[in-house]
Structure 1
Amino acid sequence: MRQRGTDPPNTPTSPENTMYEHEIQQQHAAELMRVAAAERLARQAVKARRAARRTARASGQNASEGPVSSLRNRFARAA
């Protein structure tokens, strides 16, 4: 894409060129909006997964995913 101020002095910019640049800018803006929406959706999914894990832990669901050992069995008995 050309940058502003690169035209030689006293050379008018053609309307076709201006329309072309406008279309490119519109496509770029649309692409940025699509990327932002995808990133927002990914963040929402991560947040929902975390919340689901948190509520599952709090409610005691998935008992098979609990602690591997209790504090009682973690240490050897003292003599």
Structure 2
Amino acid sequence: MFAYEIHRMRSAELRAQADRERLALAALRGRRAGRRSTGQEAPVAESHSKGSRRHRFTRAA
């Protein structure tokens, strides 16, 4: 009986976590849709390399 109660509690925790994640994704989608509807462009990502042209991996022979 004790194991069953632990199982039920864990199941309830996982459901609550999934609900929170779904809500966060819905909010993110709403913000993105709001930006698209107003015509604002996404900010341009800046490079962290400070202008270096060095590649991450070496060339294959």
TM range (shorter): 0.5 to 0.7
Encode CA deviations 1:41-72: one digit per residue, 9 max, x unaligned: 1111111111100001111223657xxxxxxx
- Considering Cα pairs closer than 8 Å and 6+ residues apart, tell me whether 1 or 2 has the greater RCO: 1
Structure 2 residue corresponding to 1:37, chosen from 4, 7, 16? 16
* Structure 1 outlier segments of 4+, above 6 Å: none
Query: Offset at 1:28?
Result: 0.4
User: Could you tell me how far apart the structure 2 residues matched to 1:58 and 1:42 are?
Assistant: 24
Percent of aligned pairs with the same residue? 25
Cα root mean square deviation, aligned? 1.7
Structure whose CA Rg is larger: 1
1:48 aligns with 2:30: no
Structure 1: 5+ residue stretches without partners: 1-21, 66-79
Task: Give the AA of the match of 1:27.
Answer: I
More helix by share: 1
Alignment TM-score, normalising by the size of structure 1: 0.49
* Aligned counterparts of 1:61 and 1:26: Cα–Cα separation in 2: 50
Gaps of at least 5 residues in structure 2 are 45-61
Aligned mates of 2:28, 2:20 — CA distance in 1: 12
